[in-house]
Chains A and B, each alone.
Chain A
Amino acid sequence: DAGITQSPRHKVTETGTPVTLRCHQTENHRYMYWYRQDPGHGLRLIHYSYGVKDTDKGEVSDGYSVSRSKTEDFLLTLESATSSQTSVYFCAISSSTDTQYFGPGTRLTVL
């Protein structure tokens, strides 16, 4: 399995609080991604990174920001969490623009 970890694995928070999710990889892959998965939807891309300090928006980026200061870490921040951001968040990595490998996921509940 690809060396990808996510932390925390589970989090419950309240509306309006900031939340940061961390994705860490040991594969030295260039590309990293954040997705969310919700019932009735396929995985949807939030943000992605194509190198250190190089990031861009995906299809559902509103309310989220990201940072990548090191190759191995990609952080996803919810500046002010809302109930609509309750979801399962997956990080993925890729060495090319092709096959992606996923981390174990973070279950976030916003009350």
Chain B
Amino acid sequence: QVRLVQSGAEVKKPGASVKISCKASGYTFSNHAIHWVRQAPGQRLEWMGWINGGNGNTKYSQNFRDRVTITRDTSASTAYMELSSLTPEDTTVYYCARGPDFPYMDLWGKGTTVTVSS
């Protein structure tokens, strides 16, 4: 079936990096973009960036000031999001989501919880 499966929860120290994976199945990975969105408890959804599944082009939110890197492995139908220089404020749930030709999101992963604590 069509789905996005994300990697498991992570616990990191401040200053560290985290890399989350998002494996797609049930559709042609290269025909769609993958977005990364995060959501702190009780907060609005925050878009981080996207990658074109076909050509690998990326677009990032400047709100993350070069801390975020999104990559993909087409042979594994998997996208990755790496966030560096973590602070406790990065403790939240991170979602990957599929984007069709235009940047809304029509399929979401279940989310990955990242906890940043010393």
Q: Do A and B come from one complex?
A: no
Interface residues of B (CB under 8 A from A): none
Interface residues of A (CB under 8 A from B): none
